[in-house]
Amino acid sequence: MAPGIGPGLALALVSAVTFGLSGPFAKALTDAGWSANGAVLVRLAGSAAILLVILAGVRPGVVAALRSDGPALLVYGLLAMAGVQVAFFNALLYLPVAVALLLEYTGPILVIAWVWLVRRQPPTRRTLVGAGIAVLGLTFVVQVWTGVELRWEGLAWGFAAAVCQASYFLIADRAGSRTPPLVLAGVGMSVGAVVVAVLGVAGVLPVVIDPAATGVFLGGLDVGWPVAAGLLVVVSTVIAYLTGVAAVGRIGAARGSLVALLEVVTSALASWLLLGQVPTAMQAAGGVLILAGVALTTGARRAARSADPTPTAI
């Protein structure tokens, strides 16, 4: 492991990278005729099935967690699993992808504000500077200044996605919670899958899953929908959520949410390699700024520990 990279940060990096791959995997499916909500339903339901099988085998305090942490698990499933995806895809009905993505990724700002104002754990100045640099880099990556009409419906859904994304980190980082990451992710995904399925049956969300789809391309190869869906489920959901929840438990919600901005960088690189979408020079510069901002917050954490051996908020 590289110097200065502890287990928590390493898990957060793995989570950000695997989450970032979800875009190209889902894009390959939607280009072949699936709806975005169909990809979401398969993603959540497939992941829930895998995790529930694992939970049935290892049983890490599932019953105890449901009794003591039931309301939080329900909220986690509604917001962090179903809510963030439903809100984001509805934002796409009114806004370009870049703008919707930028709105969703204001989530780390909400996390820092919550930790600061509600938990009374102020971030260091270096962390705030790093967050500002990372968000500036995000605007370069998504290039929101390209001249678009911003409809209020899209803005509302985009900010709702940000709130739901923030809940992912904050619920995973609750003081005194003893719910294992496997239980949190497994139960949360099950709740999320049920919510999306019900909304689909009710006609609120258009869910199209085409098992006869062809032309599912990744890296120039027609891999077929089972491969793309399998990668979306196993890599970009099961691994991504488990490592993300475990990371937040080690490095905290605020710092974990900032590291998650690397998901945007990974998504841009993966889209280049797997879908042939070449990033612009401005997007590359934005990626460098995101990396610099995250590195600065990491440095702030180490500096705080050196100066004061007691745990810090960020």
Rounded to 5°, the CA angle 91-93-98 comes to: 60
Using CA atoms of 293, 82, 171, 22 in order, give the dihedral in degrees to the nearest 10.
-30
- Calpha distance 40→84 (Å, rounded): 11
Q: Closest Cα partner for 91 from 105, 76, 77, 78?
A: 105
14, 22, 165, 220, 260 from 11: Cα distances, Å: 5, 17, 18, 30, 11
Query: Is 138:286 a contact under the CB 8 Å cutoff?
Result: yes
- End-to-end Cα distance, the chain: 21
Supply the pLDDT for residue 47.
94
In 174-229, where do the E strands start and end? Answer: 217-218, 221-222
- Calpha distance 44→233 (Å, rounded): 7
16, 136, 179, 287, 295 from 290: Cα distances, Å: 12, 8, 32, 5, 8
Supply the pLDDT for residue 252.
83
Give one DSSP letter per residue of 58-126, joined into a string: H--SHHHHHHHHHHHHHHIIIIIIIIHHHHHHHHTTTS-HHHHHHHHTTHHHHHHHHHHHTS--PPPHH
Query: Is 161:100 a contact under the CB 8 Å cutoff?
Result: yes
Q: What is the pLDDT along the chain (314 residues), one digit of tens a residue?
A: 454 567 888 998 899 889 888 878 888 898 888 988 899 999 999 999 999 998 888 776 677 777 778 888 899 999 988 898 888 877 877 776 666 777 787 788 888 888 888 888 887 887 788 778 877 877 776 665 655 566 778 888 888 988 998 898 888 887 556 788 888 888 899 999 999 999 999 988 888 999 888 888 888 888 999 999 999 999 999 999 889 888 888 888 777 877 877 777 777 777 777 767 676 777 777 777 777 777 776 654 444 444 443 333 33
Query: Is 134:301 a contact under the CB 8 Å cutoff?
Result: no
Supply the pLDDT for residue 44.
93
Q: Closest Cα partner for 247 from 2, 18, 3?
A: 18
Q: Closest Cα partner for 273 from 223, 236, 227, 219?
A: 219
- Calpha distance 104→165 (Å, rounded): 7
Supply the pLDDT for residue 254.
76
Angle between helices 107-117 and 152-172 in degrees, nearest 10? 50
Query: Quick one: tokens of 128?
Result: 């705030």
Q: How many residues does the chain have?
A: 314
Query: Is 196:105 a contact under the CB 8 Å cutoff?
Result: no
Using CA atoms of 158, 161, 162, 163 in order, give the dihedral in degrees to the nearest 10.
120
Q: Taking the domains of the chain in order of start, what are their residue ranges?
A: 7-207+217-305
Supply the pLDDT for residue 42.
94
- Calpha distance 250→182 (Å, rounded): 15
